[in-house]
Structure 1
Amino acid sequence: MNVPMNRFLILAVLTLGGCATPRPDTGGNADALTFVVVRHAEKAIDDPEDPALTEAGRQRAQRLARLLADAPVVAVYATEFRRTRETGQPTADTHHLPVSAYFSRGPAAESAAHWRRDHDHGTVLIVGHSNTVPDLVAALSGQAATPMPETEYDRVTRIRFDAEGSARVDITRY
């Protein structure tokens, strides 16, 4: 009698498991890993070495925070420059997180390996520069990335990893 009952339980579990309803994806569900890579928002000319954001840049940073408000953001990274920190700060504030620094001139592969090692779920925001974002996207995804002109501020690249670790890259605007 135990053998047929065990078979019944196994069959029931397998059948019900196939009926599970997936959660909606709002930029990455809590069980998946998604990297969101953006360039800093529009920069001012107030400081030739470390400029702040313009008013338009501050508004763009707020739009980014609204875009990621419902995502399960677990970390925010920005380079050592003020414009990247100011771009990531509203998102960090929304999710009660610090903005963690990474070295802008460091090898993209090293940063990507660090982030992949430290994060296995959730959404990770990375704010870079026009000359670093494509390399970071390529290093994280293992796929070629489109160069970014100096005039482009609105590209949002999402790198989503499936259960097997394969990356899917989606580019949108904000």
Structure 2
Amino acid sequence: MRDFVTGLAFVIAGVATIITAQQFPTLPSLQYGPSLFPSIVGAGFCIGGAVLAANALWNRKRAVVQQGVVEVTTLGEPTSGRAGLAMLLPPVAILFYIFASDYIGAMLTMTVIMFVLMILRKTVPWVALVASLLVALAIYFIFSRYLLVPLPQGVLIEGRLPWIF
């Protein structure tokens, strides 16, 4: 039942994102505007939420058919400490990016976040370090050079990444 409610919440969030994105101004010189990417994300939320809700209903129906009798449902086993920590990691990583990227820069912040997430998933430390550096560098170049998104450089290294520029 929890997955069903979560799925519906994602569908509602997706619809709200799409409605909000459609209110963005359009640019006459482009075939697409600033509403394109948020609309794609909102559609992904809607599709993912609908799949999650439908899967929850399907599993519940299958469990009722197998048991033959409707029983009182529980929310499942209590989450362990590690599972609770895993649920908190994405919001904490987003907050860390918001507060740290202006100080240490977007690329270093992304590297730290990916490294911590990979270490918590029991990745070998040297592999986690190399992978997080390479992926952060690739993301940084894609967004800053090709998509022309101004990413924070950070004041820690005086606004310049000397090995890049």
TM over 0.5: no
Higher strand share: 1
TM-score, length-scaled by structure 1: 0.23
Higher helix share: 2
**Structure of larger gyration radius:** 2
Say which structure, 1 or 2, has more relative contact order (CA 8 Å, 6+ apart).
Answer: 1
